[in-house]
Amino acid sequence: MAFENSQAFVMESKKMVGSEQFESLCRIDVLAEKPIKKIVHISARPKIVSSEKVGENLDFTGRTAYTVVYETEEGAIASVETVIDWQNKTVCDIDNYYICPKIVENTVSGFSANEVAISSLVNIEVYGVKQEKVLPITNLEEYVVNEKSYEYQKLVNSVKETFNEVLELEHSGKIEEVLYSKGEILLKNATAGIDNVCVEGELEIIVYGLENGRIVELTKTAEFKHEFGALSVVPNNMVDAVISLDSLKVSASINETDNKTNLIMSIENKVYALIYSKEFLSVVEDAFSTKKETNATYECVSMDTFDGQGRFTDTAVGSFDVDKELFEICFALETKSVISEVKKEQDSTKVIGATFVDLVCETESREKVKVQGVVPFAISSNEIDKDDFVEIKSKVTSCKLRGQKEIEAVIEYDVQYKKMKNVCVNYLSQIEETGESKDSLSAIKVYVVKENEDLFSVAKAMLTSPEIITAQNLGIEEELREGMRVVVYNGLDISF
């Protein structure tokens, strides 16, 4: 039998292959009739505009959309928006990549009545599929060998795609100004077809507007389904997809007849998909020679392979104290959940962490203040394992004051997980002949049965009897199978 073809293989896994951190600066002018008294909140949404591989460097350009919510001199809430372009580079040694920009921190470096300066720390994470190649060893057919099979995922294709959605929402009142908007995109399903991939999910857009001088919250939720081409893809392929909401623009038009407001939400989404096929790998685990003395060297390659994904939701109620006496909760700015531990219990897996809730509130004197609270969570599920990649998105569905210094919040958690398995492949990396094989009095002899061999021919080859073989190898029958391994233990007769 010839094994050199099975010994050559390529293992692939998705890993972070580059990273960069840099500072982005911007200045924002505000209207003279709405001067700044105090900055309440800064929202920043970064996106990658273009990227180019130049040698081992990855040159990229990006754009950050800022929204600054502030209190005016008159005590009202207002906002201003701007967009800042930036460019940078990082080291990336592969061609198959995608880039995730993240704002780590926004700092107000200074502001006046009509201008605010912001310093942002931007993290760039580059992900890609790393390959590890194992080359064949020639002439393995001259040796008696034992093989082992492994199951793993092989990359078939990767696709980057941008698609747009437009949502409309009618409000019965008159929205004088769109103050602040935010959006979440939830990927529910990614499936492969014939030369295409389909992603399905849910969009939720929250708009805060001014109506008669008061802040109102408007929410629009919509399902989406988008299909895009991907060559060499078949329906039983697995799809590992990442999706992000890259830009959101909200405009309001008022019908002067009935004073109703129509909100138009223009959304740009970006999806990156890796498509895998299920493969089986056979490699040489052991090699022996009945004619030659050999030295064999074995190595191991360990790779993480994608093995499915899922999601579930949970709701919890939590409360936290603040250091100011509050009169009213205006709106929720941001909600962020951080996982601190994933631990296995007897019948389930528990995800433990904390949710940071940012709110804009009013004090008794009508001053607008930003407050932050921390709500711990512990979510148990029998759907996930300890080693799964788990990500939690959260949102405040409602919150209320309990007294003047305590806030109670109802938080909805969306738990998404990806199952990964580690494939550790042991393989023969080198085999070297050291001389002619000699009859040995060693305590162990190993033989692998060849095609059409019987018990007597194996016993003859091993210089022993059929009775010793059957006595020392449980399960050995008269009719042997090709590839069966026979082990004989011989006593040593050494004279001094």
The pLDDT, as a whole number, for residue 496 is 36
Statement to judge: residues 123 and 167 lie in one domain: no
Statement to judge: residues 246 and 214 lie in one domain: yes
Strand partners, 100: 125
What distance in Å separates the CA atoms of residue 410 and residue 408, rounded to the nearest whole number? 7
Statement to judge: residues 271 and 369 lie in one domain: no
Statement to judge: residues 126 and 228 lie in one domain: no
> What are the C-alpha distances in Å from 96 to residues 60, 131, 277?
15, 11, 17
The pLDDT, as a whole number, for residue 494 is 44
Query: Domain limits at 264?
Result: 153-285
Statement to judge: residues 277 and 309 lie in one domain: no
CA angle 16, 19, 20 (to 5 degrees): 170
The pLDDT, as a whole number, for residue 250 is 94
Statement to judge: residues 303 and 421 lie in one domain: yes
The pLDDT, as a whole number, for residue 441 is 54
The pLDDT, as a whole number, for residue 1 is 46
What distance in Å separates the CA atoms of residue 181 and residue 67, rounded to the nearest whole number? 9
Residue 147 lies in a domain: no
The pLDDT, as a whole number, for residue 19 is 92
The pLDDT, as a whole number, for residue 495 is 43
Residue 291 lies in a domain: no
User: Among 431, 459, 480, which residue terminates a domain?
Assistant: 431
Statement to judge: residues 270 and 356 lie in one domain: no
Statement to judge: residues 83 and 188 lie in one domain: no
Residue 145 lies in a domain: no
User: Among 385, 414, 431, which residue terminates a domain?
Assistant: 431
Tokens at residue 434, please?
């050291």
Burial class, 23, CB count within 10 angstroms (exposed 0-12 / middle 13-18 / buried 19+): exposed
Residue 36 lies in a domain: yes
Q: Where are the beta strands (DSSP E) in 364-388?
A: 368-381
User: Among 105, 135, 165, which residue terminates a domain?
Assistant: 135
Residue 39 lies in a domain: yes
Statement to judge: residues 418 and 301 lie in one domain: yes
Question: Which among 382, 379, 338, 383 has a CA at the least distance from the CA of 356?
Answer: 338
Residue 388 lies in a domain: yes
Domain count, the chain: 4
Residue 60 lies in a domain: yes
For residues 233, 235, 237, 238, the Cα torsion angle rounded to the nearest 10 degrees is 120
CB-based contact 129:12 (threshold 8 Å): yes
What distance in Å separates the CA atoms of residue 29 and residue 36, rounded to the nearest whole number? 10
What distance in Å separates the CA atoms of residue 266 and residue 167, rounded to the nearest whole number? 7
Statement to judge: residues 281 and 160 lie in one domain: yes
What's the whole-model pTM score? 0.78
Statement to judge: residues 491 and 464 lie in one domain: yes
What is the full per-residue pLDDT of the chain (496 aa) written as tens digits?
A: 456 567 888 888 888 888 999 999 999 999 889 999 999 889 899 999 999 988 888 999 999 999 999 999 888 888 999 999 999 999 988 888 899 999 999 999 999 999 999 999 999 999 988 888 888 887 777 777 777 888 888 899 999 999 999 999 999 999 988 988 999 999 999 999 999 999 999 999 999 999 988 889 999 999 999 999 999 999 999 999 999 999 999 999 988 888 899 999 999 999 999 999 988 888 887 777 666 777 888 888 888 888 888 889 999 999 999 988 999 898 888 899 999 999 988 889 999 999 999 999 988 888 888 899 999 999 999 989 888 889 999 989 889 999 889 999 999 999 999 888 888 888 888 888 877 666 555 567 788 888 888 888 888 777 788 888 888 887 776 678 888 888 887 655 544 3
Tokens at residue 478, please?
């008269």
The pLDDT, as a whole number, for residue 442 is 57
Q: At which residue do the structure tokens 């909805």 appear?
A: 412
CB-based contact 178:205 (threshold 8 Å): no
Statement to judge: residues 159 and 274 lie in one domain: yes
Residue 290 lies in a domain: no
